[in-house]
Amino acid sequence: MEKPLVMVVDDQPGVRRLLYEAFLDDGFDVELASGGAEALRKVQYLCPQVILLDLRMPGLSGLDTLRELQGIKPGLNVIIMTAYGEMDMVREAKKIGAQWYITKPFDLVELRCMVKTVIAGAPDGGAARSGLIAAT
């Protein structure tokens, strides 16, 4: 059986490394991208079950990346990560197609639970059980 693929898109190497190790330990395949352009290239040949996408990145922003991702592969499961907790950006991301978000700094246990729930197909993205707020 093929392992689920989680893609982490974040410009901060420490965040990418932390999430890589955490999800690898959980039995997932993990693909890293340091920005939106790299993520868009990789999604052309990869099929991630969930993408963890930082909103604030240099170059192609998280919102612009999300727009492009939805054009390439509509319906991708995307969890937005934002250090700013800006509800206007979260609302915009929801309009584009993101269904879940989490604010940085995040609780790694909660994020892991959210990703597992999203991959399992739960409609609320684990919000009810993990205390995270679904962007619905």
Q: The whole model's pTM is what?
A: 0.86
The pLDDT, as a whole number, for residue 85 is: 61
Annotated domain spans of the chain = 5-130
DSSP code at position 134: B
DSSP code at position 132: P
Q: Please identify which residue in the block is written with the tokens 């965040």.
A: 15
Strands 29-33 and 78-82: unpaired
pLDDT one-digit tens code per residue, 34-80: 999 999 999 999 999 999 999 989 999 999 999 999 999 998 999 99
Q: The domain at 5-130 falls in which architecture?
A: 3-Layer(aba) Sandwich (3.40)
The pLDDT, as a whole number, for residue 81 is: 92
CA distance linking residue 105 with residue 18, whole number of Å: 12
Q: Mean pLDDT across the chain, nearest whole number?
A: 86
Which helix (H) or strand (E) segment is 38 a member of? helix 36-43
Whether 124 shows a pLDDT value over 70: the answer reads no
